[in-house]
Amino acid sequence: MKHSISTAATLAAATMAVVAVPAAAQAAQHAVIIGPVPVHGYQMSVLGIAGEKSLTIALERDRGTSTQQHIYTFTRSVEVTDGRIRANLGSLGSVDLKLKTGRDTTLPAGCKGHAIRQGTWNGSVRLVADSTYFHTIRAHHLPGAVLPVSGTGCDEQRAPKTAPGAATLTAAIGDTYLEADATTASVLSTTRRGGASIVHVITVAGRLDAATDLSTATVTPTGSLLSGSVTYAGSTSAATQKDGLAGETSVGRLTGELIAHFDSIGDVKVGATPATLQRLP
């Protein structure tokens, strides 16, 4: 995440994609985008929708082929307008910000609609993120923007098409999830604390080597954030779908161990657990 108006537009586009409201109500809504600002080697952003009782604080660090994210979503005691944000985060802190507007900025290429109203959000953000890495994050003057939701949108960034015959492996163990394909491996851990829904994600370059019949596969990550490897063994005979629109699916189990080295919550392990291996048509 780089501090630019493109980031604001991207966040706004992502927000509008997940907000489903009637057209009449949508005209009054605004996406509120604050940051990003540097925090302990990460970039912190705050995102909300005016009129919605939800607020997200996201911390992201991007280092070439690896990213680490810590995302806090609050849905209690939250008030968001296009000029004021107030939130009682309980044991996790508080937010009280007012927008001092500056100049309007036209949307970047690929976006159509209203101009982005830029400014500075003054006040206080206090997030008790953890007791190990971030500790208590405090911020008082943050760059930001407000963008009307109705009539504004950005072209979808098309992800590279998955090559025919490519395989994807997914597994879950409790609140921890693994997904791997030919080029990346991701570990996601979810939890709730102090009324917040928290998601921690590590994504690294990696490799999934799968047998033609989907009977075996190996996940091998690269870099320092995700270490170890896991091996999959399964069969298509137990799958409910085969050779259909979803491709061919194998159901099996992992052996070995992957360890995701999170800054905030420490090591998270993915070991022996049921898994699914799928090849797209």
Per mean pLDDT, which of 115-129, 152-166, 197-211 is the most reliable?
197-211
pLDDT value at 155 more than 90? no
pLDDT value at 226 more than 80? yes
Greater confidence (76 vs 21) lies with 76
pLDDT band of residue 145 (cuts 50, 70, 90) is: confident
pLDDT value at 104 more than 60? yes
Long-range contacts of 158-166 (CB under 8 A, 24+ apart): 162/280, 164/280, 164/281, 165/279, 165/280, 166/279, 166/280
Please give the domain boundaries of the chain with CATH numbers for all domains.
Answer: 5-154 (no CATH), 167-279 (2.40.128)
Residues in the chain: 281
Mean pLDDT of the chain: 83
pLDDT band of residue 114 (cuts 50, 70, 90) is: low
pTM > 0.95: no
pLDDT for residue 98 = 94
